[in-house]
Structure 1
């Protein structure tokens, strides 16, 4: 199977903004100066923020509700960069200050748990500012952030996304060590499967189903309001076991992280198709009645669905590959619901490659704002390039992962490693 190591350039979002009709018939941002302000509170920007996030190519991870959940639990100070022209908001970069080893980094809010980041931009800015964030505008952002951060570090930004060049692409960048993996949905479920060897995929599904049917059957559960929190807690438990076996720190262990994810479950777009976070599970019947061997959490923005995280419990039916089976059931269902792209998120894992014909490169954008920031930026680029080199060597990467597993006292697959 040939994988496209590029962006989905020929597949625009179903409801992407129409730039030919979206701009106001007034002087544009390209012909005048942008006024930069930095806010330490989300509330004053809520109306403009929610208006900008209506663009389906704007990442869910910069939406107001997504960011609010992390702000309410993390305790990090905010430095939200807002650019405006003649009183009209041109863009919003939702940033928080994360301090590590004496260095203050302005990062996207909740960036550690984001699979893709774009920032928020108005139709007018995107249409008229062909050069995106220009050098002079970068200098203004640096000046505005100087007293608050040593560098601006925007992780996991695709320089182009679904046919649109990012306005952030002009910032100094280094390729992130992790790529994202996507499955485009075509005209029919069968056509979609043909991208990833339909015959082999169907044979595997029938084998998995037969194993579980012999034990009493199974069902695909989409958690309702009374089930979702318990299912999320089960994910935390399952993932903790897997991380320990792989010799890795548990990135979901922190109480503030767990609290933020629980808060995200409460946000539901009743009128539209957007979903901030929705829990799915595979539940067994019969012999193992009620046992849940696989859990996943999905988010939806327009026609784009992201698998935020997933876990498995292999204590009972590992031969049925319950995680793979759950992905089949979710993808098959979503194919009937107007989805155009299923995104497995970042991290190079075997099961993602088996499902995804498209691999999207993402970048980390680094803009120093102080002398300390310049040193930190140099170190950050070096570390990212080193990780990229390691992951490019299957032998070296495998050696490191096996060593981690031995240190953890377990034998978990290297597929437990993500965003690392």
Structure 2
């Protein structure tokens, strides 16, 4: 089935006509993206639904993403930015950025406190189904339940816990207090030892990308490091597709030229070479590590990745931030710091009969992943099998 290249605009009304309730589903063209940015000026959202993220991913998407906008007589209520993809014979709509979009929360007007009525959510389903009959299933994964004092309205749909935990550090009390809560004496000693090794290797500098050229250089290093790490682990490189790399180059390149960027790159440079890189987003008083990697070279024993995290967390404390968020994924290096644990949630909303079958399958897979991830023995077996199935590439 094909659709017109022009923006698809469908309005649906329901409920009390005096309320002026309605929803519009549009291709994410320049006009729609500008309105989305304007709506977000009086809305809360998490980074992967921010105007900058949505615009960057929309620029490099093979097909125009869509934005569903719900409003009432007082104006904007909620917007949801989605990308549409084919999975076999199924069409799915998911958060724009797919697996790179974590901690998801839609753009929700600040006047909406306690979610939205079920009738509003049904309007959303009906409007998307009408505008895009090629979509069988809404796949809305890795969502947070709250953003500030607002409840995620999408929690009004049936949902289940996401397979992977999200870990974070409470920065209350400053860096000294953080260290006191997490084996601080050992961390300080280790950090001093690492610093001596890095100085002996030619000196080090923690850098913030302050220009597009610096952002490009850090991303080039990160993509190379991550590809090597994924190959060693036997994991598919989710950063490999050209459109993924291009989206991050646009996102962080644009941000590096802003005065108050919502996305930042930090790199640890030793002897003139980048040895570790982190890409982070900021929302309110929370700094979220979206991705990270380190070089597997002669300095890997000095743990440049852990050294950079120490520096990042110390810097976040000095800026008065309240949370350093390692995002989704349970890893040993995160557990060394974290004292906050959050379970996000997934929602699968079928729009067609085919979609109902896929929703059941996706729900079953999510439950199986949760079982494996929560069982150390099963998780160890799964990682060993994964390494054998994905040989190291030259």
Query: Structure 1 length as normaliser, TM-score?
Result: 0.83
Residue 179 of structure 2: aligned partner = 193
Q: How does 1:223-234 map to 2 (within 5 A)?
A: 223-225=209-211, 226-234=213-221
1:353 to partner: Cα distance: 1.2
Deviation at 1:394, TM superposition (A): 0.6
Match of 2:126 in 1: 143
Map of 1:133 onto structure 2: 116
How does 1:364-375 map onto structure 2 within 5 Å? 364-375=346-357
Alpha-carbon separation, structure 1, partners of 2:129 and 2:157: 17
Q: Which residue of 2 aligns with 1:215?
A: 201
* CA spacing shift, 1:190–1:42, aligned 2, 3 Å: farther
1:248 aligns with 2:232: no
Report the 3-state secondary structure (helix = DSSP H, G, I; strand = E; otherwise coil) of the residue aligned with 2:70. strand
Q: Distance in 2 between matches of 1:188 and 1:65?
A: 30
Query: Superposed, which structure 2 residues align to 1:6-405 within 5 Å?
Result: 32=19, 34-54=21-41, 57-86=44-73, 88-124=75-111, 126-127=112-113, 130=114, 132-147=115-130, 148=132, 149-225=135-211, 226-268=213-255, 273-276=260-263, 278-284=264-270, 289-405=271-387
Who is 1:418 aligned against? none
Give the corresponding residue for 2:4: none
SS of structure 2 residue aligned to 1:176: strand
Moved >6 Å (runs of 4+):
none
Q: Structure 1's 376 and 390: CA in aligned 2 closer, same or farther, altered over 3 A?
A: same
1:261 deviates by 0.6
Indicate conservation of the 8 Å contact 1:182/1:356, yes or no.
Answer: yes
Deviation at 1:202, TM superposition (A): 1.4
Contact 1:273 1:301 survives alignment (8 Å): no
- Following superposition, the deviation at residue 234 of structure 1 comes to 1.1
Range 371-380 or range 43-52, more displaced: 43-52
Q: 1:58: Cα distance to partner? A: 1.5
Alignment partners' CA distance in 2, 1:295 and 1:136: 45
Deviation at 1:246, TM superposition (A): 1.3
2:246 is paired with a residue of what secondary structure? helix
Structure 1: 5+ residue stretches without partners: 1-28, 412-420
In 2: Cα distance, 1:270 partner to 1:301 partner: 18
Higher strand share: 2
Q: Counterpart of 2:386 in 1: which secondary structure?
A: helix
Counterpart contact for 2:71–2:78, Cα < 8 Å: yes
Cα distance in 1, alignment partners of residues 257 and 210 from structure 2: 13
Q: Which deviations, in whole Å up to 9, do the C-alpha atoms of 1:107-128 show, x marking residues without a partner?
A: 111132112110011122x14x
Can you list the C-alpha shifts for 1:121-146, whole angstroms capped at 9, x where unaligned?
Answer: 1122x14xx3x233222221221111
Do the aligned partners of 1:133 and 1:171 also contact (CA within 8 Å) in 2?
no
| RMSD between aligned residues | 2.3
Q: Secondary structure at the match of 1:268?
A: helix
Offset, 1:407: 3.6
Report if aligned partners of 1:273, 1:300 keep a CA contact under 8 Å in 2.
Answer: no
Structure 1 window deviating more from structure 2 (237-246 vs 154-163): it is 154-163
Distance 1:34 1:248, change over 3 A: same
- Mean Cα displacement is larger for which, 152-161 or 89-98? 152-161
The whole-number CA distance in structure 2 between the counterparts of 1:51 and 1:193 is 41
Q: Which moved more, 1:101-110 or 1:217-226?
A: 217-226
How far off its partner does 1:274 sit? 3.5
1:55 is displaced (CA, Å) by: 5.8
- Take 1:234 and 1:73, find their aligned partners in 2: how far apart are those partners? 21
Seen in structure 2, the aligned counterparts of structure 1 residues 342 and 51 have a Cα distance that, compared at 3 Å, is farther
Following TM superposition, by how much is the alpha carbon of 1:290 offset from its aligned partner in structure 2, in angstroms?
A: 1.6
Query: Is the deviation greater in 251-260 or in 220-229?
Result: 220-229
Query: Which consecutive residues of structure 2, in runs of 5 or more, have no partner in the other structure?
Result: 1-15
Aligned 8 A contact 1:390 1:396 in 2: yes
Secondary structure of 2:91's counterpart equals strand
The alpha-carbon deviation at position 62 of structure 1 amounts to 0.8
